[in-house]
Chains A and B, each alone.
Chain A
Amino acid sequence: GNSVTQMEGPVTLSEEAFLTINCTYTATGYPSLFWYVQYPGEGLQLLLKATKADDKGSNKGFEATYRKETTSFHLEKGSVQVSDSAVYFCALSGPTDSWGKLQFGAGTQVVVTP
C-alpha cells in the first residue's frame, strides 16, 4: 500500500540557515503530494502541494519538487526564521486509495534558534 517516510527530527538550526527535510513515498501511479505544518498549539495547515510529476509547490519561501524517478518530495527553504519552528508533515493521497484519504509521514520537528 501507499506509505510516506520522512527524516526524523528534531532538526535544530540557526536563523538564516538552509533547511531540507527529506520525504520519500511508496505508491502506485501518481499520488498527490503535500507538506503540512503544525505550529505549537495549532492544527495542521497545508504548506504546499504538487499533483503531478515535476511540479514544484511553493509557499512562504518553502519549495518542494515532485520527483517521480526518485519518489521524493523534499522540502527546502533557503533562509529559515525563528517563526518557522514547527512540526512538518509530508503526506500523500490517491490514486489507488481515495483522494480524500491523506497518509502522513511521522513528522519532523524543526527548531530554529536566533
Chain B
Amino acid sequence: EPEVTQTPSHQVTQMGQEVILRCVPISNHLYFYWYRQILGQKVEFLVSFYNNEISEKSEIFDDQFSVERPDGSNFTLKIRSTKLEDSAMYFCASSEEEQGQHNEQFFGPGTRLTVL
C-alpha cells in the first residue's frame, strides 16, 4: 500500500542552524501539507502546497519557513534559523487531486526535531 515517508526520523540541531525536513508523498497525489506538534500540544497546520506554490499558510509559517518540491518526488520543509521553540514533531501529508470536503490526507510517520 502506498505511504508517505519522511526522513530523518529524528533530527538534532543547534539553535540558529538551518534544517531541511524531507518527505516523499504518495506518487499520484498533488496536494501536500506540513503540520507540527509541539510536545504535549495539538497538531497544528503549517502550510499547504499545490501546483508548485503555497495554497495556504498559518501564522506559524513565518519567513523562517519555506517549502519546496525540488523534483517529482520530494517535498521539503526548510527552517532557516532554528529556534528552541521549533522543537516539535513535524508531519508531512498528501492528498489526491480533488481538494474538497471528502478528501483524505495521508500522513507520514513524522520527523522529531530537537533544537538545542
Contacts and interface: CB of A to CB of B under 8 A. Distances in A.
Contacts of A93: 101
Contact of B103 (A36, A41, A43, A99): A99
Interface stretch (B39-47, B62-70, B73-81): B39-47
B11 interface: no
B91 A100 contact: no
Interface in A39-80: 41-46, 49, 51
Contacts of A46: 104-106
- Tell me the dominant secondary structure on chain A's binding face: loop
B48 A44 contact: no
For chain B, the bracket of interface size reads 20 to 34
A98 interface: yes
A50 to B, nearest CB: 10
Contacts of A32: 101-102
Interface of B: 4, 6, 31, 33, 35, 41-45, 48, 55-56, 58, 91, 93, 95, 99-110
